[in-house]
Amino acid sequence: MDRAVVFSVGFCILVVLVVPSVLVRGCDFGIAPRERAAGPNIRVFMVSTGQTVEMPLDEYVRGVVAAEMPASFGLEALKAQAVAARTFAVRRMRQFGGPGCTAHAGADVCTDSQHCQAWVSDDELRKRLGYLEYYAYVRKIASAVESTSGKVVTYQGKPIEAYYHAASGGSTENSEDVWQTAVPYLRAVSTQFEAKEPSFQERVEFTVDELEKKLGVKLTQKKVRTYKVAGKDVQVVAEEKMDRPIEVLSASPTGRVKEIRIGDKIFSGFSLREALGLRSTKLTYQMTGDKVSFTTTGYGHGVGMSQYGAQAMAQAGKTYVDILKHYYTGTEVTTLAGIESR
């Protein structure tokens, strides 16, 4: 009886821990070894190590998809993310006429998501997910990359700036309403699929003092008041709250803040979002006593492909090509061999 129990426990440990470990370590994203990954090589600056590493383009794309989109998303959404990530990289690769990574000399791209795209290694992904989830999802990611290998999004024969964000909050944004530059394929789009996208509504509250310190502003102003004292006029200078301490000066047609005055300074919606760590520039505000709250809708800058919108489209039966052509107006999905030099 005791031996049977010991054997059963040992067998369970073997199945749950050892077998997945052997399978996962031997699969390298569930596909062929890295030296056989498709596409040209790309030079990637690894922020975590401070070194530039050269790897096959599709190996890089797999790491981006794993880092940038939940692996639980539908396969067509993951394919759309793979093509967008590849296009983003190709536009920067020097062998295709791109400028390389402007923050790190000698690299085509970096792993800083604020500058290029997030990226995660095979080993790091295994640590994040654990063996069982890793094995379940990694083959799906690899399939999305393999099945779209060599595919890029182009506009008039050239790879596009394939920007993307988490959730649009109902509609994506025109590029000029965020970054002042009008790009013909980065147009605001809104369809029936957007209604199924999470709103990601969030409320963030600051005290007036916190807001002043974070933004380097004053929400008060000096006011001179005159009082009668013993029959004489006496002027008193006091710091008082502004009549309109916060004012939205301009907004995009989709409701995102373009310019806002807070206290004695004017901010772009983008710079305010960065300074306060807000999820989106699609926001409203409210002042109550010494508290200021901002309520945001959506997640990210709002330009290009909405990842949760892509998932909603995939769930509705749309293909990755449908998704990409919806979010990138007037574009085509083609192969690397078909792109023009810049």
The full set of domain ranges for the chain reads 20-198+301-338, 202-296
CA 331 to chain centre: 21
DSSP 15: I
Neighbours of 277 (CB within 10 A): 8
Closest CA to 337 of 96, 24, 35: 96
Two tokens, residue 130: 């654990």
In terms of DSSP bridges, do strands 151-155 and 158-159 run parallel, antiparallel, or are they unpaired? antiparallel
Using the predicted structure, report yes or no on whether residue 99 has a pLDDT greater than 60: yes
- Read off the amino acid at residue 111: T
pLDDT of 231 reads 73
330: left (phi over 0), alpha (psi -120 to 50) or beta: left
Rounded to whole angstroms, the Cα distance separating 39 from 56 reads 6
pLDDT of 39 reads 65
Q: Stretch 133-157: mean pLDDT, rounded?
A: 93
pLDDT band with cut points at 50, 70 and 90 for residue 271? very high
Name residues whose C-beta falls within 8 Å of residue 336's C-beta, 6 or more positions apart in sequence: 39, 40, 90, 96, 150, 152
Q: Residues 209-267: pLDDT tens digits?
A: 999 999 999 887 666 666 777 777 766 666 667 778 999 999 998 889 999 999 989 99
More confident residue, 253 or 143: 143
Q: Residues 284-320: pLDDT tens digits?
A: 999 998 899 999 999 999 999 999 999 999 999 999 9
pLDDT of 237 reads 61
DSSP 17: I
* Contact yes or no for 141/69 (Cβ under 8 A): no
pLDDT of 179 reads 87
Rounded to whole angstroms, the Cα distance separating 160 from 183 reads 10
Strand partners, 43: 54
Q: Stretch 26-47: mean pLDDT, rounded?
A: 64
Q: Stretch 58-87: mean pLDDT, rounded?
A: 96
pLDDT averaged over the chain? Answer: 85
* Contact yes or no for 82/144 (Cβ under 8 A): yes
pLDDT of 90 reads 97
pLDDT of 5 reads 46
Using the predicted structure, report yes or no on whether residue 14 has a pLDDT greater than 50: no
**pTM score of the predicted model:** 0.81
Top mean-pLDDT range of 13-17, 149-153, 188-192: 149-153
Query: Half-sphere exposure of 183 toward its Cβ, with a 13 Å CA cutoff?
Result: 25
DSSP 202: E
